[in-house]
Structure 1
Amino acid sequence: MLGGKRILLGITGGIAAYKTTFLVRLFIKAGAEVKVVLTESALSFVTPLTLATLSKNPVLTSFTEENEEGLDWNNHVDLGMWADLMIIAPATANTLSKMASGQCDNLLMAVYLSAKCPIYFAPAMDLDMYKHPSTKASLAILQSFGNFMIPPGKGELASGLNGEGRMAEPEEIIDFIKLNLSKNLPLQGKTVLITAGPTYEPIDPVRFIGNHSSGLMGFSLAERAVQMGAKVILITGPTHLNIINDGIEIIRVSTADQMYKEAHTYFEECDLAICAAAVSDYRPEMVAEQKIKKEATSLRIKLVKNKDILFSLGQKKSNQILIGFALETENALENAKKKLIKKNLDGIVLNSLQDEGAGFGIKTNKITFIDKNLKIKSFEVKDKIDVALDILHEIVNITYA
C-alpha cells in the first residue's frame, strides 16, 4: 500500500525523534520514497547524516543550504507538491500550536502550509503538556482542518511520569497510515491475479523460443493494484524485475505450461484476473536433452500449440472479472474485439505496435481499453506505471463502481 508513495517526514525537537530512524527504515522497506525535513531543535536529538543514509535523500533543515557555488534555495512549495503523504513525528506541543495557528518560522512549517497531500501527525510530549487545554485545542483544530492524528500511547515518559503522551511506535504509525489509506480504496479486500512477462519455450538446455516482453506492464499493474488496496498474486515469466511488497506474492515460472498451471491454481481465489503476460503460442514438440550442435546447414523444429491460458480462464470463470491484453500489428480494433468476445472477457487492453511509444522493452505504452459492451476509450502515451493506473480505473468503473 505504501509502495511507490512519496513520503515527506517532518521531525521536530522531542526526545521521541530517535524513533524516526526506525520509522524511515520501515517506510523504505515498504517501498516508499522518503524525504526528511528537520527543525533546528530536532538536530539535538537525531543527525541529518543518519537520516540521509537511511532515506537515501539529502535531509533539509533550512530554507537555504551552502554549496561550492553559494547558496541553494530549498523550495517549500515544490516539497509540498512532491509528497503523496506528509507525516510530522514527533509533533511537539510547540509545533502543534504553530500548525494550528498558521505560524511559519521554519522550513517544516512552510512545507506544511504548502502541502496538498494528506497530513498525519504523531503527538509526543509529557503527560501534563498533553493534557493542557491549549494542547487539546491545537489537536482539535488540526483535525478539523482534515489532518489525521496518530494517537499517542500510554506508558513511562521521559520525565518519569506514567501516562499519555509518548509518541506511537514506528510500527504503530505505519499500521495507522495503512488502515487510514485503506478505508476508501477501490480494491480493498479484493484478490487480484496478474500474469506478466514472457515465457521461454526450451529448444535444448541452452536455447529457447521467447519474445521481447520485459514484464514491466504486469509489474506496474501489480504495484498499482496494491496501492488501491488489493492483495496481488503476480505470476511472472523470466524477467529481471522485482517488487518487495508485503501485498504482492510473486510466483516465477519459465514456460507457458508452468504459467497455465499456476494461473489455474490461483484463479479460484481471485476476484479479478489481468492477463498481461506475453505467452508463447507455440513450443517445440521435442526438447533436445543435449545442446544441438551446429552441423547441418539448416535446422527444422516442429512446433506444437500451447494451451490458451486466457481462453481457458474465460471458460472457467464464475464471479471473477477477467481482463486480457491484445498486441496487434494490423486491424487492431477488429482483432481485439474478436478476442474479447471469443475468450469471454470483461475487458481487453489493446496495444498496437504501429503506435509510437507502445510495445516491448520500453518504459511507455499507449493503450485502448475496450469493455464487454464494446465501449472504447483511448489514452495518450504514458509511462507504464501511469498506464497501469488508467487500466485499473477503467476496470473499477465497469465492475466495482
Structure 2
Amino acid sequence: MGAEGPRRQIGGTVVVGVTGSIAAFKAVSLVSLLHKAGYEVEVILTRGAERFVTPLTFQVMARGRVYTDVFREERPEEIAHIAVADRASLFVVAPATAHVLAKLACGLADDFLSTALLAARTPVILAPAMNVHMYAHPVVQDNIARLRRLGYTILEPASGPLACGYEGKGRMPEPEEIFAFVDDVLQGRTVLPIPNSGVPPAPEGANLGSPPASEGGSFFSGKFVLLTVGATQEPLDPVRFLSNRSSGKMGFALAEAALRRGARVVVVAGATSVPPPPGVEVRRALRTEDMLHAVEELFPAADVFIAAAAVADYRPKSVALQKIKKGNRLVLELEPTPDILMEMGKRRRSDQVLVGFAAETENLEANARDKLVRKNLDFLVLNDVSRADVGFEADENEVVLYDRWGGRFTFPREDKRVLADKLLETIAARLAAVR
C-alpha cells in the first residue's frame, strides 16, 4: 500500500456499527471517508454483517479496532463494549436492519453492538436499509417512531432499485451524505439529542407540552412535518419557463431542524440549488400544479405544514409545443396558478399547524398580516426580498414571525440553519403557551 498523506486533526471518535444487510459494503466507504477526514474510527460488526464484509476489510480502512464478539475481552482492565461506548463521540449504525431497530427499541442487548448502544451517552445516528415492504411494515414504523422519541436520530432511507429486485423506499443513504451529516455534528454545526439520557419516553399519543428552550422542544417529536421548498417553474415552451430565485436553503434548513427534533419530515421540492439534508424524504414537483397535487396527497396526514416554497403566482395560459423562435416581440398571456397555501388553509383541521412565508418588497407588515389572516394560518414568516444580502440565494436571512394570536417576533440577520432552529423554538413555545 502507498504512503498515507497527512490528515487534518479534528478530534472525535466515531463508532460505526454495521449490521447484516447487503448495504454493509457501503459502510466500508463511510469508514474510509471518516478516517481520511481525521476522525478516529472504531467498527462493530454483527454476526450478520460478517457474512457480507470481513472484519479485516474494516480494520484496513479504519486503521482502528474492529469488534465482533461481546465475550472476547482482550484487555482485562476494561470491559470492551463499555470502553467503546465511553470513547465514542458519536455512534453511527449504517446499515441498520429491521432486526437491530427492533432490538434497540425494546432495549434488548445480546451482542457487542446492542450492548454498546445501550451504554452510549452520545448521539446515535441510525441509517435503516431493508426491503420496501419491510420498511413500510407498521411494526417497523412503530419501532422507528419510538426510537425517535427516545432521542435516536433516524436518517430516512432513499427510494430506488433495491437488491431484492423491488423498487421503492429502503436504500441506505449514500456514504457521502452520511459522512457530511456526521461531520456537521462533530464540528458543532448540527446539534443532535442524546438517547439514554435518563429522560423517560413520552407515552403513546401524549400531548408533549412545553419544550426546553434550547431545542425548540419536543413538540415536533413524533410529528409528521410536511414542507414545500424551492422555486416552481412554469413552462413557456420545451426549453423556457417562468420562475424565481429561490434556492431552497431556508426550507431545507427548516426540514433539517424538524428532523433533529424527532419529526418525520417530507419535503415537496421544486427547483433548488442546494442538496436536501440527509434523512429527509424528498418528492420533486417543478410545476405549481404538480406541487399542489403532491401536497394534497400528503396534507391530510400532516401535523405541521410549512409552506416555504416560492411558488410562481402566474403561468403562461398556453405552452408552445416547440421552441419559440426569437423575433421582434413576444406577448405572453398569463393566468394565476393554484394557491397551495390558501387551499390548505381551507381544508385544514383544527389540530394542524400551518406556517406560511411571505416574500415582500413593500408595505411589509401590512401585507404579512393580511396573508396570515386571509390564508387561515397560524404563523407567517416575513422576508424582505428587496435586499441583496439576505433572502433569496443568500446563506443568511433576517425575518419577522407573526402569529394568529397577535405575536410579532423579530429575528436579526444570521445563518439560515441557525435561524431555522430559532423559528421552530419560537413556534413550539408559542403553541405551548396558547393551547
> Shared fold (TM-score greater than 0.5)?
yes
What SS does structure 1 have at the residue aligned with 2:306?
strand
Native 8 Å contact 1:238 1:254 kept in 2 = yes
For the pair shown, which has the larger CA radius of gyration, 1 or 2? Answer: 1
Within-5 A mapping of 1:1-400: 8-9=12-13, 25=27, 36-37=39-40, 50-51=61-62, 94=77, 153-154=109-110, 166-168=112-114, 180-181=150-151, 183=201, 185-243=218-276, 245-246=278-279, 248-295=280-327, 297-318=328-349, 319-355=351-387, 357-400=389-432
CA distance in 2, matches of 1:18, 1:202: 46
Deviation at 1:188, TM superposition (A): 1.5
Report the alpha carbon displacement of residue 239 of structure 1 after superposing the two structures with TM: 2.1
Q: What amino acid is the match of 1:227?
A: R
User: Over residues 79-129 of structure 1, what are the superposed CA-to-partner deviations in whole Å (9 max), with x where a residue is unaligned?
Assistant: xxxxxxxxxxx99764579x99xxxxxxx99x97xx9x8x889xxxxxxxx
Distance between the aligned counterparts of 1:17 and 1:192, measured in 2?
A: 29
How big is the shift at 1:366?
Answer: 0.9
CA distance in 2, matches of 1:275, 1:47: 44
SS at match of 2:301: coil
Runs in 1 of length 4+ with deviation above 6 angstroms?
A: 16-19, 32-35, 45-49, 90-93, 169-173
What count of residue pairs does the alignment treat as equivalent? 301
Q: Secondary structure at the match of 2:383?
A: strand
How far apart, in 1, do the equivalents of 2:358 and 2:383 lie? Answer: 6
Distance change (3 Å), C-alpha of 1:284 and 1:245? same
CA–CA separation in structure 2 for the residues paired with 1:91 and 1:285: 74
Query: How much has 1:244 moved relative to structure 2?
Result: 6.1
Instruction: Name the aligned partner's letter for residue 61 of structure 2.
Output: T
Check whether the contact 1:357–1:366 (CA below 8 A) recurs between aligned residues: no
Q: Work out whether residues 323 and 349 of structure 1, in 8 Å CA contact, stay in contact via their aligned partners in 2.
A: yes
Q: Is the 8 A contact 2:14 2:91 kept in 1?
A: no
Question: For structure 1, which runs of at least 5 residues remain unmatched after alignment?
Answer: 1-5, 40-44, 53-58, 60-89, 101-107, 122-149, 155-164
Does structure 2 conserve the Cα–Cα contact (< 8 Å) formed by 1:199 and 1:278?
yes
Shift of 1:220: 1.3
Q: Deviations over 1:42-90 (max 9, x none)?
A: xxx99886238xxxxxx9xxxxxxxxxxxxxxxxxxxxxxxxxxxxxx9
Q: Which runs of 5+ in 2 are unaligned?
A: 1-9, 43-55, 65-72, 93-105, 119-123, 127-145, 153-200, 203-217
Distance in 2, Cα, partners of 1:35 & 1:48: 16
Tell me the SS of whatever aligns to 2:311: coil
